[in-house]
């Protein structure tokens, strides 16, 4: 497996090198939008996937009402679908 980057809390893995047996999910954490955030973990670290090509989903940059950058997020709808 080629791990591109790693820190104490995160890991970046090439899409084709992911070992699904290492994937777990963190406990849901409520956010300020009255929703829950669930981190995808890989070997106990937050997973970021490096993917070459076009993806069927996108990233969203979040801004508050004063146009201050709040972070980046990605939503995945798994309803009746396979990932």
More confident residue, 4 or 20: 20
CA 26/CA 41 separation, integer angstroms: 7
Check pLDDT > 50 for residue 82. no
Q: Which residues are registered as beta bridge partners of 69?
A: 63
pLDDT at 83: 46
Mean pLDDT, rounded, for 4-8: 60
Instruction: Single out the residue of 34, 23, 10 nearest to residue 83, CA to CA.
Output: 23
CA 8/CA 45 separation, integer angstroms: 7
Check pLDDT > 60 for residue 60. yes
pLDDT at 22: 94
Three-state DSSP class for residue 19 = coil
Note the pLDDT tens digit of each residue in 16-57: 889 999 999 999 988 887 888 889 999 999 998 887 765 656
CA 60/CA 6 separation, integer angstroms: 23
Mean pLDDT, rounded, for 50-78: 73
């Amino acid at each position: 497996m080629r791990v591109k980057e790693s820190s104490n809390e995160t890991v970046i893995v090439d899409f084709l090198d992911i070992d699904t047996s290492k994937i777990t999910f963190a406990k849901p954490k409520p956010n300020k939008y009255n929703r829950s955030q669930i981190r995808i973990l890989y070997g106990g670290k937050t997973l970021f996937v490096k993917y070459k090509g076009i993806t069927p989903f996108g990233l969203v940059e979040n801004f508050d009402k004063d146009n201050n950058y709040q972070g980046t997020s990605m939503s995945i709808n798994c309803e009746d679908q396979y990932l």
